[in-house]
Amino acid sequence: MHIDKAKKRIAKQVKKGFKGYPQITLEYFGANPDCATEVAIRFTLEEGAEVQEERFASKSDVREDEVIQSALVKIIDRADASSVMEIEGVSAL
């Protein structure tokens, strides 16, 4: 999947806001706010359930990595997530 298409699909899901569970939360991490070298994708099946987390890392910005962004889209689709949330900005590592 092309990087722009993957980013648009994720953004569209995020824009919908909270619609219930299952929920996916994306959080980007990096040494500085301009470059996110890691992304955490968290899956919550229902309220109060244990959160499952998977992380992807790259030497460059993961937000511009076609393979990682495509993987995020596939995880969101396969989880049949009702809500996709994204933590704003880049959190410090």
Spell out the domain ranges in the chain. Answer: 3-92
pTM for the model stands at: 0.91
Of the candidates 90, 68, 78, which has an alpha carbon nearest to the alpha carbon of residue 3?
68
Would you place residue 80 in the very low, low, confident or very high pLDDT band (cuts 50, 70, 90)?
very high
Given a cut of 80, whether residue 20 has pLDDT beyond it is: yes
93 has a pLDDT exceeding 90: no
Taking only the tens place, the pLDDT of each residue in 26-45 is: 999 999 999 999 999 999 99
**DSSP H or E segment with residue 33:** none
CATH, domain 3-92, list 3.20.20, 3.30.720, 3.30.750, 3.40.50: 3.30.720
Is it the case that residue 1 has pLDDT exceeding 90?
no
Residue 37 to residue 46: CA distance in whole angstroms = 29
